[in-house]
């Protein structure tokens, strides 16, 4: 490969180009660029390919609830889970490196340049975090590909993730409460990368003739997916839902929320219908039966 101001650069192929042997005006490489990551340099190719119009997907529908304890809970009662992105040894090494970084930063005088030892610590931390991100992206690609191939319509909550991960620190005059707990929750949400999961799912579903529908988030976890009522106390614990309205429905709380998401995705063409309701018991508009 020839790079401007550098010359010819040797690189190692890690995957083939999707254009294959057919190269014409509709299937060709249109550009390439060098990208520096924490673990080295990469060549990223931009490729134009002709994609046939997909046939309409005829599979079942599903609702997905995104969470922390259960990364993805499906309305059919199944879950998509993963191990921690870093092994216990890697997590301990990252903790030690971060402590060393703070210790060396405190010992550095104001205006003094970064020492080689501190710069090396920065690089080691970046490499471990990049490894965790690669594992997360790999898991998300595999799971979203599976979901896009099986289900014709996928319902997800239309979450304002940026607002969800705002700090609870507050101000000097009005300090926040449970700041450390909220910071830990924010890190957990950011580590799951909920927005990236939906982005991957949207284009993969479109490639296979399916759709992704975003529905309003309020009350999806409080409403009974069997009778459609919102009754105080139905969410018994963080993980258990038992309807107090009399229908007797019990399920995992995330599964119940996923069923509500699937119902809402089927009842609103735009995926932004009204799921609101401030009263203690309000029925959901009639929807299509839940498809497993």
pLDDT one-digit tens code per residue, 186-207: 888 888 888 899 999 999 999 9
Q: Looking at residue 272, what is its pLDDT?
A: 39
Cα 252 from Cα 242, distance rounded (Å): 9
Q: Which backbone phi and psi does 65 adopt, to 5 degrees?
A: -105, 125
Please determine, for residue 286, whether its predicted confidence score (pLDDT) is greater than 60: no
Q: Could you confirm whether 123 is annotated as catalytic? A: no
Q: Looking at residue 21, what is its pLDDT?
A: 64
Q: Looking at residue 171, what is its pLDDT?
A: 64
Burial zone of 260 (CB within 10 Å; 0-12 exposed, 13-18 middle, 19+ buried): buried
**Structure-token pair, residue 277:** 């309701």
Q: From start to end of the chain, where are the E strands?
A: 2-3, 7-8, 28-37, 40-48, 61-66, 72-74, 79-80, 153-157, 211-215, 240-242, 250-252
- Specify the residue for token string 């009842």: 267
Is pTM beyond 0.95? Reply is no
Q: In this predicted model, which residue has the larger pLDDT, 13 or 90? A: 90
183 within 8 A of 167, measured Cβ to Cβ: yes
Please determine, for residue 47, whether its predicted confidence score (pLDDT) is greater than 50: yes
Active-site hit among 76, 192, 202, 254: 254
Burial 138-167 (b: 16+ CB within 10 A, else e): ebbeebbeebbebbbbbbbbebeeeeebee
DSSP, collapsed to helix, strand or coil, labels residue 114 as coil
DSSP 223: B
Burial zone of 195 (CB within 10 Å; 0-12 exposed, 13-18 middle, 19+ buried): middle
**Structure-token pair, residue 164:** 């969800």
Q: What pLDDT band is residue 170 in, cutting at 50, 70 and 90? A: low
Mean of the pLDDT values across residues 91-120? 90
**Structure-token pair, residue 68:** 């922390």
Residues sharing a CB contact under 8 Å with residue 59, sequence separation 6 or more, in sequence order? 150, 151, 152, 210
Maximum mean pLDDT: which of 46-55, 67-76, 90-99, 103-112: 90-99
Mean of the pLDDT values across residues 40-51? 85
- Cα-based angle 69, 193, 66 (whole degrees, multiple of 5): 40
Q: Looking at residue 91, what is its pLDDT?
A: 94
| Spatial CA neighbour of 246 closest among 232, 227, 263 | 227
216 within 8 A of 223, measured Cβ to Cβ: no
Q: Could you confirm whether 158 is annotated as catalytic? A: no
Q: In this predicted model, which residue has the larger pLDDT, 180 or 226? A: 226
| Spatial CA neighbour of 262 closest among 227, 225, 222, 224 | 225
**Mean pLDDT rounded to a whole number for the chain:** 82
Give the range among 62-76, 78-92, 212-226, 258-272 with minimum mean pLDDT: 258-272
89 within 8 A of 97, measured Cβ to Cβ: no
65 within 8 A of 257, measured Cβ to Cβ: yes
Q: Could you confirm whether 76 is annotated as catalytic? A: no
Q: Where are the domains of the chain?
A: 2-48, 61-77+136-267
Cα 99 to the chain's mean position, in Å? 29
DSSP, collapsed to helix, strand or coil, labels residue 2 as strand
261 within 8 A of 220, measured Cβ to Cβ: yes
């Amino acid at each position: 490969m020839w790079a401007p101001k550098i010359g010819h650069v040797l690189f190692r192929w890690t995957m083939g180009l999707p254009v294959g042997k057919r190269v014409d005006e509709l299937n060709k490489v249109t550009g390439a660029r060098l990208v520096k990551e924490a673990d080295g340099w990469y060549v990223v190719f931009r490729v134009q390919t002709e994609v046939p119009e997909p046939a309409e997907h005829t599979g079942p529908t599903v609702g997905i609830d995104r969470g922390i304890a259960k990364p993805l809970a499906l309305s059919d009662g199944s879950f998509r889970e993963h191990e921690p992105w870093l092994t216990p040894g890697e997590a301990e090494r990252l903790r030690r490196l971060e402590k060393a970084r703070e210790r060396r930063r405190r010992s550095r005088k104001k205006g003094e340049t970064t020492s080689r030892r501190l710069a090396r610590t920065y690089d080691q931390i970046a490499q471990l975090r990049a490894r965790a991100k690669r594992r997360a992206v790999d898991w998300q690609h595999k799971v979203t590909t599976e979901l896009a191939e099986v289900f014709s319509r996928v319902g997800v909550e239309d979450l304002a993730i940026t607002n969800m991960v705002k700090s609870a620190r507050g101000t000097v005059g009005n300090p926040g409460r449970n700041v450390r707990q909220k910071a830990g929750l924010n890190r957990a949400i950011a580590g799951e990368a909920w927005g990236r999961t939906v982005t991957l799912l949207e284009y993969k579903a479109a490639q296979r003739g399916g759709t992704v529908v975003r529905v309003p988030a309020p009350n999806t976890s409080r409403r009974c997916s069997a009778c459609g009522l919102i009754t105080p106390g139905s969410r018994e614990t963080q993980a258990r839902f038992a309807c107090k309205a009399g229908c007797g429905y019990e399920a995992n709380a995330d599964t119940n929320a996923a069923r509500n998401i699937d119902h809402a995705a089927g009842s609103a063409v735009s995926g932004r219908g009204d799921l609101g309701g401030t009263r203690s018991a309000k029925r959901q508009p009639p929807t299509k039966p839940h498809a497993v």
